[in-house]
Amino acid sequence: MSPAETVHVPLDGGRAYDILVGRGLLAGIGPRVAELGARAVAVVSDTTVAGLYGEAVLGSLREAGLRAGLVTVAPGEGSKSYATLAAVCDGLLAERIERRDLVLALGGGVVGDLAGFAAAILRRGVRFVQAPTSLLAQVDSSVGGKTGINSPHGKNLVGAFHQPVLVLADTATLDSLTPREMRAGYAEVAKYGLIDDPAFFAWCEARFGEIFAGGPARETAVAACCRAKAGVVVRDEREDGERALLNLGHTFAHALERLTNYDSARLVHGEAVAIGLALAFRFSARLGLCPGQEAGRVANHLALAGLPTTLRAVPGGCGDADSLLDAMRQDKKVRDGALTFILARGIGRSFIAPGIDPGEVRAFLADELERDPRS
Amino acid sequence: MSPAETVHVPLDGGRAYDILVGRGLLAGIGPRVAELGARAVAVVSDTTVAGLYGEAVLGSLREAGLRAGLVTVAPGEGSKSYATLAAVCDGLLAERIERRDLVLALGGGVVGDLAGFAAAILRRGVRFVQAPTSLLAQVDSSVGGKTGINSPHGKNLVGAFHQPVLVLADTATLDSLTPREMRAGYAEVAKYGLIDDPAFFAWCEARFGEIFAGGPARETAVAACCRAKAGVVVRDEREDGERALLNLGHTFAHALERLTNYDSARLVHGEAVAIGLALAFRFSARLGLCPGQEAGRVANHLALAGLPTTLRAVPGGCGDADSLLDAMRQDKKVRDGALTFILARGIGRSFIAPGIDPGEVRAFLADELERDPRS
């Protein structure tokens, strides 16, 4: 089956790769992986996704003449841990994955980050393919080569830059997501508009229902996000500059995830990002950088998509302003102790703001903690 | 204090670095590290080495204006584990090491491999300095960027290529090594002669006593080994070809270490390498590639330096030929199931031998298991 859309990621050093986007692509994954020249493939997945697509994927790989095995982990952010990383590495070794073989990450962002990191460090690096099955993974985490796990000190603090050799985004897999998972992924879709593409944000406002329902707008949106992200990654692979814009909303989001102990029953990444996006715009407005009505438009659209947009919307709470500030300090974007935020002058007009005064942030957070969760 | 010898490693992409070799260099480590432009340094060491040099190194770093902290691990190969890696990463985060800061590995090969790997994956990569304090680390593991830990499936099966930004080899630290540790490191010194430098091997035969005793031959030998290794690494950083020659003796050695459960009471890496070197030459002789008297000369010199050269010299034994062969198959140098060995046509005439018949290896090992350990 031909993909509806192909996004090429022209990285140097022989590391260019394609992102294929289309409905039903998983059924034909075997021949596409076989073209990459491996002898064996280890599929890494979580038990939920493996139950849905594992047999079909293994069958397609084997039909294409590849030796294929399966390594599974528990679903959820808790698997981005040192212990699960060790179990995956040992699982890949038990599958006798050699330097020329492949790891295939089949699942959402957790599986992709974890399997990609395991591939990066197994025998000091083997190739890997991303087959993202969540909206969040298809539009964000599967593209760009950031892999990693969480530490008790914070999210994604241990990891590697390791680019996939192929990304295959089967949009039919999104039909099996819960509404909550779909909404969470949608926060990252909206983010691309907010960063630098006001027309895309306006298109999202008009068409987001179709993305959720599975009309052709879904492939258009996934490909648009991949194209936006790929462009940034090619220009700034290691986040020395521009790539940091992709973290719009994420300094807040990572702190919230940390303070809720990465407990997905309370908060998943995309929900944290939605709150973070709303906060980034309101903080920008408070600093006089962005019109207040733009911040309101952002929060309204996210709320319309069913996403939380306030600190008090976090089930079980998220601590006080000082705990939030402390959690933010552990972010990788800390440099010499000062806080760097991604702020905005309006929708589609984000920028990197280094050296933000922690006192300003604390005062903002204290006010936000008073805000009505329905506002 | 100026180093007696400086070896430059001209890697591309801004990754060139210097190896400084000299007696007493640790006392001046602070200013040299400060020149690298970090704000904070975390020293990773084992409790033994930290007890000997920790305060002096921390003092020198702090005098040079750097924030410096210490992360210690237990001595011994057992620390090259998933659990210790996690503890070191969390220790570095507790020291608030940021992307521009530095990790300093102070210790032998275990500390260097472990701390280097932790630096490679902390925040997806921070810079690190090697201050090797064992002969083995000074001549081998601190140079070239291979970092990693062991898996229950085998040695160094999980890791990263991550080059140091400076190597500082203080040869005075070797005075505190036990004779056993010194001998173990010496196996790697002799290896460089055996790979491609028969004149250096002959010089070693004449001067090895001075290397052990701490005369000027020690700095000459350390620098010669670093120069040899740096040359190979620059030409073939990722071991697509020539770099594999540095593994002379190591396919056997890794299997022996695995079968003795990485128990350094029984066998340390350098002892395993000594046996591996003797086996590689005797196997070459058996295959008709190398004169038998050259293999004898290799074993004689290693034995004169107090090193083991036979399988039966392994305390507690090392299993039968089949277990040895199985352990070798887990080596990273396995490709499509066939075994690759480094063999030799004589002293200083090693070469990569892919596709070695496992049956030949099994028969050779079975005979070696009968060999008198004193022969």
What pLDDT, on a 0 to 100 scale, did the predictor assign at position B1? Answer: 62
Is residue B355 classed exposed, middle or buried when 0-12, 13-18 and 19+ CB atoms within 10 A define those classes?
Answer: exposed
Q: Does a structural domain hold residue A374?
A: no
What pLDDT, on a 0 to 100 scale, did the predictor assign at position A4? Answer: 85
* Domain identity same for A160 and A260: no
Q: What is the DSSP string of B139-190?
A: IIITSS-EEEEEETTEEEEEEEE---SEEEEEGGGGGGS-HHHHHHHHHHHH
Alpha-carbon distance values, A106 to A58, A141, A173 (Å): 11, 13, 11
Contact B335 A100 (CB under 8 A): yes
Say if residue B233's pLDDT is above 60.
yes
Which CATH number goes with the domain that contains A88?
3.40.50.1970
* Domain identity same for B183 and B52: no
Nearest-CB residue to B335 (from A85, A98, A148): A98
From CA A366, how far away is CA A362, in angstroms rounded?
Answer: 6
Q: Does a structural domain hold residue A171?
A: yes
* Domain identity same for B170 and B313: no
Domain count, chain A: 2
* Domain identity same for A194 and A327: yes
Mark the binding-site residues of A, compressed into ranges. Answer: 109-113, 133-134, 146, 155, 188, 250, 269
What pLDDT, on a 0 to 100 scale, did the predictor assign at position B264? Answer: 84
Which CATH number goes with the domain that contains B268?
1.20.1090.10
What pLDDT, on a 0 to 100 scale, did the predictor assign at position A313? Answer: 95
What pLDDT, on a 0 to 100 scale, did the predictor assign at position A259? Answer: 92
Check residues B338 and A157 and name the one with the higher pLDDT: A157
Residues in chain B: 375
Chain A's closest residue to B334, CA to CA, is A98
Q: Does a structural domain hold residue B373?
A: no
Give the structural domain span for A166. 5-176
Evaluate whether B300 touches B333 at the Cβ level (below 8 Å). Answer: no
| Residue A342, Ramachandran bin (φ over 0: left; ψ between -120 and 50: alpha; else beta) | beta
pLDDT digits (tens, 9 = 90+) for B109-121: 999 999 999 999 9
From CA A123, how far away is CA A127, in angstroms rounded?
Answer: 11
Q: Does a structural domain hold residue B19?
A: yes
Contact A121 B121 (CB under 8 A): yes
Say if residue A79's pLDDT is above 60.
yes
Nearest-CB residue to A151 (from B39, B93, B146): B93
A177: confidence class by pLDDT, cuts 50, 70, 90:
very high
What pLDDT, on a 0 to 100 scale, did the predictor assign at position A332? Answer: 55
What is the DSSP secondary structure assignment for residue A108, as one 8-state letter?
S
What pLDDT, on a 0 to 100 scale, did the predictor assign at position B81? Answer: 97
- Report ipTM for this prediction: 0.89
Mark the binding-site residues of A for NAD(+), compressed into ranges. Answer: 109-113, 133-134, 146, 155
* Domain identity same for B162 and B237: no
* Domain identity same for A50 and A152: yes
Could you say which of A142, A176, A210 is where a domain stops? A176
Evaluate whether B269 touches B180 at the Cβ level (below 8 Å). Answer: no
Evaluate whether A113 touches A159 at the Cβ level (below 8 Å). Answer: yes
* Domain identity same for B157 and B302: no
* Domain identity same for A13 and A43: yes
A2: confidence class by pLDDT, cuts 50, 70, 90:
confident
Could you say which of A176, A200, A231 is where a domain stops? A176
Chain A contact for B116 (CB, 8 A cutoff): no
From CA A295, how far away is CA A283, in angstroms rounded?
Answer: 9
Q: Which residue out of A66, A124, A329, A340 would a mutagenesis test of the B interface target, given it has the greatest number of B Cβ atoms within 10 Å?
A: A124
> Residues of A with CB below 8 A from B160's CB?
120-121, 124-125, 160
Mean pLDDT, chain A, whole residue set: 94
Could you say which of B144, B176, B208 is where a domain stops? B176
pLDDT digits (tens, 9 = 90+) for A296-343: 999 999 999 999 999 999 999 999 999 999 988 876 555 556 788 999
Q: Does a structural domain hold residue B262?
A: yes
From CA A343, how far away is CA A341, in angstroms rounded?
Answer: 6
Tokens of B128: 């690190």
Q: What are the counts of helices (DSSP H) followed by strands (DSSP E) for chain A?
A: 14, 11
From CA B128, how far away is CA B106, in angstroms rounded?
Answer: 11
Q: Does a structural domain hold residue A348?
A: yes
Q: Does a structural domain hold residue B135?
A: yes
Say if residue B370's pLDDT is above 70.
yes
Say if residue B332's pLDDT is above 60.
no
Mean pLDDT, chain B, whole residue set: 94
* Domain identity same for A129 and A18: yes
Q: Does a structural domain hold residue A375?
A: no
Contact B124 A90 (CB under 8 A): no
The B67-73 sheet, strands edge to edge: B5-9, B17-22, B166-170, B127-132, B102-107, B40-46, B67-73
* Domain identity same for B80 and B159: yes
Say if residue B330's pLDDT is above 80.
no
pLDDT digits (tens, 9 = 90+) for A254-292: 899 989 988 889 999 999 999 999 999 999 999 999 999
Evaluate whether A117 touches A92 at the Cβ level (below 8 Å). Answer: no
* Domain identity same for A89 and A219: no
* Domain identity same for A33 and A164: yes
